Structure 1
Amino acid sequence: MRIEELSTMPGRVAGKVAFITGAGRGQGRAHALRLAEEGADIIAVDIAAPVENVPYPMSTPEDLAETARQVEALDRRIVAEVADVRDLGALKAVVDKGVAQLGRLDVISANAGIDITVPWHKVTPEIMRTTIDVNLIGVWNTVMAGVQHLVDGGGGSIILTSSANGLKAGPYQVPYNSSKFGVTALAKSLAMELAKDHVRVNSVHPGGVDTTMAEFALPAFEPMHEDNPALFGMLGAWIPGVMPPREISNAVLFLASDESTWVTGAALAVDGGMSQY
């Protein structure tokens, strides 16, 4: 087959529309671009503003606009709006607008999340609440904003971003671990109930990914190493290095595609072995 023929072949998610949260940068942007490369149109949201108690800079409206520009450069359509995953009404308004413009919804990628790394005795009620509200309630909101479109359309794929810490936990991340274990359970629970509607639900569990969140989280562990060095073997992985976001996007693509039509309720670790320590 000639190269020019390959370039005109339909992609693995051609004709599908995917709703992605946290799409301003990092894993969310990578997911949007990877799915667009394979033929999907995109509904993208990001808070594009600071979040209380989060110690690293969040994405900006310019970041979200850049995601839209890159998707459009791939000759795919995109509806990109600023919205907070803690606001179910705002999410539903964006999804409904996107479906009205793009015609359907097939994939939900609940990717948005935060990480506030502190030892247990420095976790405040505000830190705990913010983390649960964004990482768990926000994921539930994301599903609720779009799932009826999948049911009405005859099926689809929901992909919830958990973490290696949603399988084994990890030190100095009580709020994050609690939220990510909740996401793992949420995926399995929804998978059971939605299977009759041909909607499959799976969770993806990244290890260390080269994003702004990881850039700020990893140094936060250093002062705690002296306090309890026995715990730090848990942070390793069998494959050395920090993976690029696209590695997670490849897993999202598989779960979004028709290659995974009998995969549901799975917890897919893409972590270089971190969750096996």
Structure 2
Amino acid sequence: MTDSGRFAGKVAFITGAARGQGRAEAVKFASDGADIIAIDACTDFATTPYAGATEDDLAETVRLVEATGRRILATKVDVRDFAGLEAALKAGVAEFGRLDFVVANAGICSVGMSWEITAEQWQEVIDVNLTGVFNTAKAAVPIFLEQGEGGSIVFTSSLSGLKGTPFTAHYAATKHGVVGLARVMANELGMDRIRVNTVHPAGVATGMDLGGAMQPYLGKYAATLGPIYMNTLPDEWATPEDIADVVAWMSSDEAKHMTGAEMRVDIGASNR
């Protein structure tokens, strides 16, 4: 076990950690010296067009974090379950002794024209992406306040939290919603040196693959709505590690005067 790195002696709580951005964030924070409290639902969701993460995926995150020499407590729990989430977080704090960073990363998506989205699609996306982020912050903030040493919270928003991205009205509503939540919490918690920010990726190569479901819409509306998704830089996708690098920086003392901010890591798509 190494005690080196900018996050040595620190602890990070990361949701949706079984794969994709959450896994990359867990490994990044651990590589920088932090111990990790990780949760993931490890389930298939009712309305998503892709398979959910698995317990084997979460076990692989554990393996990768432990390979850095750091400790990890990983729990299968859904962010919609506040009691379970809070219990997992408190267990991690009891084991590792503190909490310094929170990354509310868990999220899902499905596609459809706004007026055709079903009530089930709407509710599931709202519950995971917005209520789940609220639950994560609600569980973490009292721990930060009790410690009295400040802290950092990063909510994963999206390009869809900055623009009206077609075919994702429910998703975009949640990603705009977490921006509003972050702005309010940044104001409320600033006096306690608890920073709250949002990160806004565009396309990231993760297990949340919407390609097949999105293609009929992008094909039909290629000349009218498709350009809204165009990047400025000549890259089609970011990697999960690209986002993890930025989230770690936002959480570090190098960004100690950043709060209530929206960090765009969107390949220039919001600039179009």
Same fold, judged at TM 0.5 (above): yes
Q: TM-score, normalised by structure 2?
A: 0.96
Q: 1:102 aligns with which of 76, 96, 103?
A: 96
Paired residue for 2:118, among 107, 120, 124?
A: 124
Matches of 1:241 and 1:9, distance apart in 2: 37
Distance 1:158 1:9 in 2: 23
Task: Tell me the equivalent position of 1:271.
Answer: 266
Q: Distance in 2 between matches of 1:99 and 1:169?
A: 38
Q: Which residue of the partner structure matches residue 26 of structure 2?
A: 32
SS of the residue corresponding to residue 212 of structure 1 reads coil
Q: Distance in 1 between matches of 2:267 and 2:16?
A: 23
Residues 16-68 of structure 1 show CA distances to partners (whole Å, capped at 9, x for unaligned) of 10000000000000000000000000000000011111121001111111101
One of 205, 208, 217 as aligned partner of 2:210: 217
> What are the equivalent positions in structure 2 for 1:77-226 lying under 5 Å apart?
77-153=71-147, 154-213=149-208, 216-226=209-219
Contact 2:3–2:9 (CA<8 Å) still a contact in 1?
no
CA contact (8 A) 2:3 2:33 kept: no
Provide the rounded CA distance (Å) in 2 between the counterparts of 1:225 and 1:99.
45
> In the alignment, is residue 18 of structure 1 matched against residue 22 of structure 2?
no
- Residue 101 of structure 1 deviates from its aligned partner by 0.3
**Partner residue of 1:3?**
none
Match of 1:235 among 223, 229, 253: 229
SS at match of 2:243: helix
Q: Distance in 2 between matches of 1:59 and 1:75?
A: 24
CA contact (8 A) 1:13 1:256 kept: no
Alpha-carbon offset, residue 9 of structure 1: 8.0
In structure 2, what is the equivalent of residue 69 of structure 1?
A: 63
- Given that residues 237 and 274 in structure 1 are in contact (C-alpha distance below 8 angstroms), is that contact kept between their aligned partners in structure 2? yes
CA distance in 2 between counterparts of 1:114 and 1:238 reads: 25
Shift of 1:241: 2.2
1:73-118 Cα shifts (integer Å, max 9, x gaps):
1110111000000011000000100000000001110000001011
Bigger CA drift: 145-154 or 129-138?
145-154
- Between the aligned partners of 2:169 and 2:83, the Cα distance in structure 1 is 29
Supply the distance in 2 between the matched residues of 1:57 and 1:145 (Cα, whole angstroms). Answer: 28
Contact 2:155 2:182 in 1 (8 A): yes
* Structure 1 spans left out of the alignment, 5+ residues: 1-7
Is the Cα–Cα contact under 8 Å of residues 165 and 275 in structure 1 kept in the other structure? no
TM, length-normalised to structure 1: 0.94
Distance, in Å, in 2 between the alignment partners of 1:21 and 1:265 is 20
The AA in structure 1 aligned to 2:211 is L
